[in-house]
A and B are shown apart, each in its own frame.
Chain A
Amino acid sequence: EAAVTQSPRSKVAVTGGKVTLSCHQTNNHDYMYWYRQDTGHGLRLIHYSYVADSTEKGDIPDGYKASRPSQENFSLILELASLSQTAVYFCASSSTSGDANSDYTFGSGTRLLVI
């Protein structure tokens, strides 16, 4: 079954440390996205990618880097984790740009706690 798999499911990181969140999709989708979820803010886009070896900034990219080494894999990197980056992070994939993205598929999320 096509899916988006995130790892780890949860993580505790220390302030100033490096954190890498991983995402793998078997949907054969071109687009992949990283969102963060904070209470009362819905989901906000951090980075996205529409092709391997290329990433784009979303609405809140500061403090985050992204890497798309292949169509299936998309990572989110926090080089210097900060307390404000405590959140739940969701990866998603979709097949095409433009209208009618009813195949947007979300991973199960990564709960990150920065202490």
Chain B
Amino acid sequence: GEKVEQHQSTLSVREGDSAVINCTYTDTASSYFPWYKQEAGKSLHFVIDIRSNVDRKQSQRLTVLLDKKAKRFSLHITATQPEDSAIYFCAAIQSSGSWQLIFGSGTQLTVMP
């Protein structure tokens, strides 16, 4: 089945700088890649997604890039703000069986003032 790896467990940036979180996946048939944000002690909230028919999607300060050949996708946050501090999870839809979301292990992003 699908495996999603999130390579940075922590990431610290200065306010105003950019942050990049990288993920890889194993199932070449996966076609949908969402990102979720979890603030301390809270639930997960959807932030942005990308489908496999495109290689880039932008929403305000967030951009997702997808490299299907390398089976890699990344979340780029520009002009970071302290409220961006949270755990970010990447995920992929497993293309067989349950169509469940398979999650990466999460990246704790800290934006320092």
Contact = CB atoms under 8 A, between A and B. Distances in A.
A106 interface: yes
Interface residues of A, number: 26
B34 A99 contact: no
Contact of A102 (B42, B45, B46, B99): B46
Contacts of B106: 40, 42
Interface residues of B, number: 26
Interface in B1-17: 1, 4, 6, 9
Interface of A: 31, 33, 35, 40-45, 48, 50, 56, 58-59, 90, 97-102, 104, 106-109
Interface of B: 1, 4, 6, 9, 31-32, 34, 36, 42-46, 49, 51, 89, 93, 98-106
